[in-house]
A = this chain, B = another copy of it.
């Protein structure tokens, strides 16, 4: 076998499949890929189901997959492909830049997310990035991802917990009882109790359940 070093092993072509229901766009993608150095598009499909079928016979390195498809959609497709071969790279290639789609595709395990307006040069680069462990994302989409990310995200208010209190909270959050925490931190039960009371006061709660919930939801620990 030829050892694929770094980026440019000359011999080994990357095998790319395309799943796309619009015949003309699909054809042009196939043509484009085959005309690009280092890529080989030997199979193309109009739906996820037939691609899955063909996956029984053999696997590509990469699947470029549309989202809007008849039957199973592309997002479900990603999960399905990865269920068969978990080392297949799947890049979403779509016109959708709605948060809903992006979010779902990412969660389904897509390795990249490109818009159909992607240039040949960018497509080429993106595929190489995926193969090298990166995740090419169209910047416009990346922007949305970042925005989504920061809304999920926590404003990091640590409620002025002291280091000790954070230690205790962490262990409590991991399900330990006060007794266990005491043993683990070489403290007396009463000391842990003392810290926990202060934690409650600072977080403005009055049960360990609320404290744990707050700590996890706001990523305090």
Chain B CB within 8 A of A3 CB: no
Interface residues in A, total, Cβ within 8 A? 43
Decide: B213 and A173 in contact? CB cutoff 8 A.
yes
Stoichiometry (number of copies): 2
Interface of A is mostly: helix
Give the residues in chain B near A172, CB-CB below 8 Å: 209
For A115-143 the 0/1 string (1 means CB < 8 A from B) is 00000000000000110111111111011
User: How many whole Å from A181's CB to the nearest CB in chain B?
Assistant: 11
Instruction: Establish whether residues A107 and B175, one from each chain, have CB atoms under 8 Å apart when the complex forms.
Output: no
A103 on the B face (CB < 8 A): yes
A216 to chain B, nearest CB (A): 4
**Which parts of A201-221 form the interface with B (CB within 8 Å)?**
205, 207-210, 212-213, 216-217
Q: Does A55 contact B (CB under 8 A)?
A: no
Q: Residues on A close to B: CB < 8 A?
A: 103, 106-107, 109-111, 129-130, 132-140, 142-143, 145-146, 148-150, 152-156, 172-175, 177, 205, 207-210, 212-213, 216-217
Given contact pairs A107-B154, A175-B209, enumerate 4 new A-B contacts (beta carbons under 8 Å).
A106-B153, A107-B153, A111-B143, A135-B142
